[in-house]
Every structure is written in C-alpha cells, then in structure tokens.
Amino acid sequence: MGFERRDNSAVNSVGEKMEQNMRAAFLPGNRKVELRTLSVPHPGHGEVLLRVKASTICGSDIRCIYHEHLGKGPEGYQGVIAGHEPSGQIVEVGPGCRRFSAGDRVIVYHISGCGVCNDCRRGYMISCTSEKYRRAYGWQRDGGMADYMIAEEKDLIALPEQLSFADGAQVACGFGTVYEAVEKVGVNGNHSVLITGLGPVGLAAAALCRKLGAQMIVGIDIVPERLRLAGSLKLCDVVLTAGQDNVAQVKKLTRGFGVERAFDCSADARARGTAIRATRKWGRIAFVGEGGTVEFNPSPDMIHDQKTIYGSWVTSTWLMEELVERLVRWNLHPADIITHRFALEDAADAYALMASGKCGKVAVCSDEELAPK
C-alpha cells in the first residue's frame, strides 16, 4: 500500500470527495486510545480501500490490548490501527481484484491468511499456518477503527442490502464466532440452552439459538446491566446471577436433567465449570470465551455422563457467508444488541464503556450508521 498524497479535489468512484487524510485509533495500552491523522492509503494488488462505516469493539480487544498488551501470537497487538470487526463500503479497488467493485458493501473477515495453506483452503484463515503471511486486522495489520482501511479482496464477505453496516460489523467476529460454535454442537427445538457470560458474544449466542428454535435459553452473568439487557431483548427466558447455586438452579429449571447444550462465553473458570456440570447426559458444551483456566473432574463431570466439550475459534469465510444469508432469511439483525454508538473522535469513550461491561455491544460508526433509522 502507498502513502503518497492525494489530490484534494479528487472524487472517488462512489461519488464522494476523496479525502487526503484520515483519522485512526491506536491502543497504546494503559486504557488509552490515541487518535492519529494519517494519509489515506491506496489499495495495492488484490486489495480494496473501504470507507469504514461500522467498527465494533470485542471483549478480546479489552482483554488483550486495551488494558495492557497481554496477547501473544495470534493475539499479539503490533501497534497497528485497532479494530478487528469492520464493515464498510468499497471506494477504490486495486489492480487484480476479481469480484468486488467500488460501491459494494462488505464485511471484513478479520484474519487475513496466506490463502494457500490447508487451513486457509478450508476457509479457516483464523488458523492459517503461515507465520509470514497471517495477519489479523486490528492486531497485526491495520484494522477498522479509522475513516478508511485497506483490506484484501479475498477477506471480504458481501453484505446484502437487507443488513446494515452495523449488522455487518457484528458478523465480522462475534456473530460469526457464535455461528461456528452453534453449528458444531447443533441446536434445535429439542434443546434447552445455557449461556454463561452475557457479553456481546453470549448475547449473539442467545440470538442465534432463539432463531434455531431452542426451547428454553438460560443466561448467567455477574453484571446486572447485562442480565437486564438479555431479558429486555427477550434473548434469554431466564437470567441468573452468577453464584454457587447455578448448577442446582439450572437443573431445577430443566426437571432435574440439565440443559442439552451449553456455551461458555465468559472465559471464567467457575462459569465454565457451571456450563459443564449443568449440562445433561449426552449433552454438548462449547467453549468460546478465551483465556483463563477451568477445573473439572473428568469422570463424574464428563465421561460417565457421555458429554462432549467443543473448542470453537472464530469461523470460516464460507460459514460467515452462510450466516449472512440466514440472517436475511430469519430477519435477524445483529445490530440490535448494540446499545451504544460513538463517532471515531469519541473512540476513547467507546473503549472505556466496553471495558466497564455496563453495555451491550459498543460500536464506532460513521455516516448513516451513527444515527440508524
């Protein structure tokens, strides 16, 4: 990508005046957000330039980057423009692009892989094995907390007109991740579901399980605002405050059996234990929350009850496309769990709010997405 200066009067191919400079947010650590002004980059071969319309904040950004730079390997932050959940409109297409054109609305699958290793060929660029080429947006290459961003065409998912850019940003990580976990364990109308951790990822799990027909959805969290939100959005049928009695409470709600499916979206050791123990015989548990530990007794907690624990990491590009198609069919709008929208200049307030947990999903938006209809 190049950084030569643009002609101020230039108009891009979607008819907007092309700006020369852009603002971008960086996360230096210590709960700081730094806004810098940079030249708008040019797309290189196989790349596009996006006008970012919505860029949401993930629990992972807070856990690994915002407080301090704790992440290692794929979660190592390399001082780039933050934001791994972007959605926007293409304003310029670099040479060699094969599918997308200026004006197209897109979601950025948030990890750019080499494209040719076995994992990339399966669509799981998240698991790309190329140390040289694997770069996640907002972690190791510039992400979406900016007016514009460069993305590789192969990382893009088409965003249909029925979905807003804020819906799209939600798919880039949270809803995509949860869709993968839901597909792995399988959820249908025979199932009661437990979700531990009602942050945006847990709420997304509830929203998808609801559409798949789950018969009862129980949610657990420690933050009262999140419990209230899960109830008021009608995503959970029952919400419980995290505590010692959770397993007994869930069993009581399920005639002594426990739930058929559980999703841990908290990463908390006790909540993970609850998810395992409150699942009934032959049940399936997905671990989505990242980091931390868990303690359980394999024989009574798992083996003798024939239970399976699945680990689930992000998703593939093709499942993300499938999810987008289903969201339209189901008339499900992931942006409904966004409780707060901020302009880019107020990104510091957005991160601070997400770090407090007193919110649903938090989005940084521009143009029409800042004040949705």
Ligand X SMILES: NC(=O)c1ccc[n+]([C@@H]2O[C@H](COP(=O)([O-])OP(=O)(O)OC[C@H]3O[C@@H](n4cnc5c(N)ncnc54)[C@H](O)[C@@H]3O)[C@@H](O)[C@H]2O)c1
- The residues binding Zn ion (CB under 5 A) are 58, 60, 113-114, 117, 120, 128, 130, 173
Q: Which stretch binds ligand X (CB under 6 A): 36-44, 117-125, 309-317, 326-334?
A: 309-317
183 binds ligand X (CB under 6 A): no
CA distance 259 to 363: 33
Question: Which of ligand X, Zn ion, none does residue 270 bind to, with CB < 5 to 8 Å depending on kind?
Answer: ligand X
127 binds ligand X (CB under 6 A): no
Dihedral Cα 197, 203, 205, 209, nearest 10 deg:
120
Give the helix, strand, coil percentages of the chain, each rounded to 5. Answer: 30, 25, 40
Length of the chain: 373
CA distance 92 to 3: 14
Which residues, 224 to 243, sit near ligand X by CB under 6 A?
226, 242
DSSP per position, 143-162: -SSBSEEEEEGGGEEE--TT
312 binds ligand X (CB under 6 A): yes
202 binds ligand X (CB under 6 A): yes
268 binds ligand X (CB under 6 A): yes
Q: Between 44 and 74, whose beta carbon lies closer to ligand X?
A: 74
- Nearest approach, Cβ of 289 to ligand X (angstroms)? 4
CA distance 215 to 257: 14
Q: Between 142 and 221, whose beta carbon lies closer to ligand X?
A: 221
Q: Between 40 and 253, whose beta carbon lies closer to ligand X?
A: 253
Nearest to 81 by CA among 128, 134, 36: 36
Residue 234: partners with Cβ closer than 8 Å, 6 or more residues away: none
Q: Between 49 and 242, whose beta carbon lies closer to ligand X?
A: 242
Out of 18, 198, 212, 214, name the contact with ligand X by CB under 6 A: 198
Out of 119, 183, 290, 346, name the contact with ligand X by CB under 6 A: 290
Dihedral Cα 211, 241, 200, 296, nearest 10 deg:
-90
Q: Which residues bind ligand X (CB under 6 A)?
A: 58-60, 63, 173, 177, 196-202, 220-223, 226, 242, 265-268, 270-271, 288-290, 312-314, 357
